[in-house]
Amino acid sequence: MAFLSMNLSELREHRPARTEPDDFAAFWAGTLAEARAVPARLDTVAVETGLATVTVEDVTFPGYAGQPIKGWLVRPRGAGGPLPAVVSYVGYGGGRGLAHEHLLWASAGYAHLVMDTRGQGGGWAVGDTSDEAPSAGPAHPGSMTRGVLDPAAYYYRRLYTDAVRAVDAVRTHPGIDPERVLVAGSSQGGGLALAVAGLVPDLAGVVAEVPFLQHIRRATEITDAFPYKEVADFCKVHRDKVETVFATLAYVDGLHFAARATAPALYSVALMDEVCPPETVFASYHHYRGPKEIAVYPYNGHEGGGAHHVPAMLAFAAKVL
Residue 273 designated active-site: yes
Reduce the DSSP state of residue 270 to 3 states and report it. strand
Q: Which residues of 263-285 are buried (b: 16+ CB within 10 A; e: fewer)?
A: bbbbbbbbbbbbbbbbbbbbbbb
Q: What is the dihedral of CA 106, 108, 111, 117, to 10 degrees?
A: -60
Single out the residue of 191, 224, 295, 186 nearest to residue 1, CA to CA: 224
Q: In whole angstroms, what is the distance from residue 231 CA to residue 239 CA?
A: 12
Q: Which of 215, 286, 302, 309 is catalytic?
A: 302
Catalytic residue check, 88: no
3-class SS of residue 290: coil
Phi and psi for 180 in degrees, rounded to 5? -125, 75
Residue 19, beta-bridge partner list: none
Which one is catalytic: 187, 284, 287, 309? 187
Instruction: With H, G, I as helix, E, B as strand and everything else as coil, classify residue 206.
Output: strand
What is the DSSP annotation of 1-25? -PPPSS-HHHHTT--------TTHH
Please name the helix (run of DSSP H) or strand (run of DSSP E) that holds residue 62, with its range, or none.
Answer: strand 54-62
Could you give the CA distance from residue 9 to residue 25 in angstroms, rounded to a whole number?
Answer: 33
In the residue annotation, 130 being an active-site residue is answered as no
Helix (H, G, I), strand (E, B) or coil at 151: helix
What whole-number distance in Å separates Cα of residue 125 and Cα of residue 198?
Answer: 27
- Separation of alpha carbons 159 and 171, rounded Å: 19
**First and final C-alpha spacing in the chain:** 37
- Residue 277: cis peptide before it, omega within 30 degrees of 0: no
Query: Is 92 a known ligand-binding residue?
Result: yes
Of the listed 273, 284, 286, 309, which one is catalytic?
273
Catalytic (active-site) positions = 187, 273, 302
Query: Annotated binding site: which residue ranges?
Result: 92
Query: Annotated binding site for substrate: which residue ranges?
Result: 92
